[in-house]
């Protein structure tokens, strides 16, 4: 019975040992309505009523297996992947409640992920002028440089905060596969309209990534 523009508040109460994974509000001719969480009551939500009826849906997950992030919905196409890397300790959130799934990944993040996947082997030194001691990526960068997994970005810099392209990521993963003695058989990029835009130094790696479904 709410009018257009009214604030509609509601509370979702999960069973014991479950948490609210995601809440959606949908209007047939409007689409998804933005839902806000009440910061003072974690299971309470509100939205601004559109000029039509809405459907409110809640998704639950076992507390032991759920993610703490409020920006990774259970219905998201990347939910399983985020849960995998979080449970394995490969990736953390940008804060306790935020994973930032749409944020741009950096070279420092990528090298840290691979270092964790490799078991966090110790490596000393910084190697690069822009890599300080005591940062989350310091040992990871030293390890990657020692094992030729990620090269510097020039002028004795690593570029820890620089964004990474798809072909650069493919090369890094390709080198990591070599480091781990995985198969590095490559294949042609025939069939992709932009295959001719792949840099010569990345063709083998891109072919390997495509061949292996990476």
DSSP-assigned states of every residue in 110-156? HHHHHHHHTT--------STT--TTSTTHHHHHHHHHTTSS---BTT
Count the neighbouring beta carbons within 10 Å of the beta carbon of residue 13. Answer: 9
Phi, psi of 99 (to 5 degrees): -100, -25
48 beta partners: 7
Tokens of 92: 């953390």
**Which of helix, strand or coil describes residue 174?**
helix
pLDDT (0 to 100) of residue 144: 92
Positions in the chain short of pLDDT 70: 64-65, 154
pTM of the predicted model as reported, rounded to 2 decimal places: 0.67
Tokens of 134: 């005591």
pLDDT (0 to 100) of residue 205: 96
Tokens of 100: 């930032």
pLDDT (0 to 100) of residue 86: 92
Query: What does the angle CA 49 – CA 53 – CA 55 come to, to the nearest 5 degrees?
Result: 90
Count the neighbouring beta carbons within 10 Å of the beta carbon of residue 207. Answer: 21
pLDDT (0 to 100) of residue 7: 94
36 beta partners: 46
C-alpha 179, offset from chain centre: 23
Contact 209, 192 (CB under 8 A): no
DSSP 8-state code for residue 104: P
Query: What does the angle CA 19 – CA 22 – CA 28 come to, to the nearest 5 degrees?
Result: 145
pLDDT (0 to 100) of residue 64: 66
Phi, psi of 44 (to 5 degrees): -105, 145
Residue located via tokens 């639950």: 60
pLDDT (0 to 100) of residue 130: 87
Residue located via tokens 């070599």: 178
pLDDT (0 to 100) of residue 117: 92
């Amino acid at each position: 019975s709410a009018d257009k523009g009214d604030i509609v508040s509601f509370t979702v109460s999960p069973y014991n040992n479950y948490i609210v994974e995601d809440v959606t509000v949908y209007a047939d001719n409007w689409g998804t309505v933005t839902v806000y969480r009440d910061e003072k009551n974690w299971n309470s939500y509100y939205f601004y009523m559109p000029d039509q009826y809405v459907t409110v849906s809640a998704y639950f997950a076992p507390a032991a297996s759920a993610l703490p992030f409020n920006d990774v919905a259970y219905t998201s196409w990347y939910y399983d992947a985020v849960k995998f890397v979080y449970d394995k300790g490969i990736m953390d959130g940008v804060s306790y409640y935020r994973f930032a799934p749409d944020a741009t990944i950096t070279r420092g993040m990528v090298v840290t992920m691979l270092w964790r996947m490799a078991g966090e082997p110790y490596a000393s030194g910084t190697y690069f002028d822009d890599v300080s001691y005591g940062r989350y990526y310091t040992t990871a960068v030293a390890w990657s440089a020692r094992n030729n997994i990620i090269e510097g970005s020039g002028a004795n810099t690593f570029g820890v905060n620089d964004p990474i392209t798809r072909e650069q990521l493919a090369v890094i993963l390709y080198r990591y596969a070599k480091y781990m003695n995985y198969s590095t058989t490559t294949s042609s990029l025939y069939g992709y309209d932009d295959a001719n835009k792949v840099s010569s130094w990345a063709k083998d790696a891109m072919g390997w990534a495509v061949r292996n479904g990476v």
